[in-house]
Amino acid sequence: MAPSRRAVLGSIATAGAGCLSPPGPAVSASCPAQVSRTDAARIGFTGDVMLGRDVNDRWADGPSDGVWGSLHGTLTALDGLFINLECCLSDRGSPRPGRTYHFRADPDWAIPALNTAEVTWASLANNHVLDFGSAAFEDTLAALSDGSIPHAGAGMDRSTAFEPSMVEVGGLSVAVVAFTDRSPLYAAGSNRPGTAFVRIDPGDPTTQWLVRSALERARAADPDLIVASLHWGPNWETQPSTERRAFARWLIDQGVDVIHGHSAHVIQGVEVYRGRPIIYDAGEFVDDYAIKAGLHNDRSFLFELEVSAGRLSALRLRPIEITNERVVEAGRETAAWLRTTMRERSAAFDTTVRREGEGLRMPLSSTCH
């Protein structure tokens, strides 16, 4: 009998938990993407969650679910929810010199808010987690740990910054790694706190070493799924660069099952590669940002991965918009704009896109190329 995918991944040599070791052989990505269990699960992915500035001022006195608006029930009905936390959680520190924007939220309300939405995991691999210095960063790590919210993508040194997370979602074990190519000054060092910074270039030897080592550490837990959360690329771009497309496909060829991209502030298209979704940019989910003319950075989706019958079956896109420092279900006109825009931005990838209610559905299990 052929070994299961979990057995294959588990048989690959793994790195030690405390250091980055030389990567072993590459992993072949079977198609369609399979998991060893038949449990059905719905896993949500969002764009940036920025809880500072006006969002902090609006919701610091509660209610704890207010920031989630009409989406609260939808979020808690998911089996898992993965976000990019685009701020630090602290009341300490000073704004980092030389930066235009600084994002910080009070953990006394932010953690209960994240818990109210039943956030499963948060990425810290971004260009704002160190906006208020190392003390505020340490507070962020402590607050998330105290709130029982797993996280990855930043740490007290390079090794911990690249350490994967393991979470259980709907009966499935999920390993998550997080990387960023934004703000190199925030990169973790051998004895310096910071982010899991990489160059988005699969041909770069250092990138290969860091990413493949992190993925080996993820495989050590023998997961059902591996997710890579990426804060990458410039703001306000509506299409991924050739380099980001190549990097995303390379990650899947290394054994990643889901690419969770964010950073541009606007949605980009979705590609399905070897039966696995590449969300190039999930846009914004909660913030207080000014709306950029023509780009509608206040509009996005809640991306839901469906797992059923032992396969990644579909990606569902629920239209959302940000209003008055909270996320809500998109109105009919906004939903129509989002459907049209996502179809247009995914067309270059030959992605199959079907309407489902006010949102969209992208089949995965029948797409192998």
Task: Answer whether 12's CB lies under 8 Å from 24's CB.
Answer: yes
pLDDT tens over the chain, length 369 residues:
333 333 333 322 223 333 444 455 556 677 878 887 778 999 999 999 999 999 999 999 999 999 999 999 999 999 999 999 999 999 999 999 999 999 999 999 999 999 999 999 999 999 999 999 999 999 999 999 999 999 999 999 999 999 999 999 999 999 999 999 999 999 999 999 999 999 999 999 999 999 999 999 999 999 999 999 999 999 999 999 999 999 999 999 999 999 999 999 999 999 999 999 999 999 999 999 999 989 999 999 999 999 999 999 999 999 999 999 999 999 999 999 999 999 999 999 999 999 999 999 999 976 665
Which is nearest to 186 in space by CA: 138, 232, 128, 234? 128
Q: What is this structure's pTM?
A: 0.92
Q: Which residue has the tokens 């299990």?
A: 365
User: Residue 178 pairs with which residues in a beta bridge?
Assistant: 229
Domain ranges of the chain: 23-235+243-363
- What is the C-alpha to C-alpha distance for residues 31 and 364, in angstroms, rounded to an integer? 10
Task: Answer whether 304's CB lies under 8 Å from 266's CB.
Answer: no
CA dihedral 337, 342, 348, 352 (to 10 degrees): -120
Give the SS3 label for residue 248. helix
| CATH for the 23-235+243-363 domain, from 3.40.1030.10, 3.40.50.9100, 3.40.50.2000, 3.60.21.10 | 3.60.21.10
Tokens of 148: 């029982």
Pairing type for strands 41-49 and 284-286 reads: parallel
Which is nearest to 36 in space by CA: 174, 152, 134, 155? 174
Task: Answer whether 169's CB lies under 8 Å from 44's CB.
Answer: no
Residue 148: burial class (beta carbons within 10 Å; 0-12, 13-18, 19+): exposed
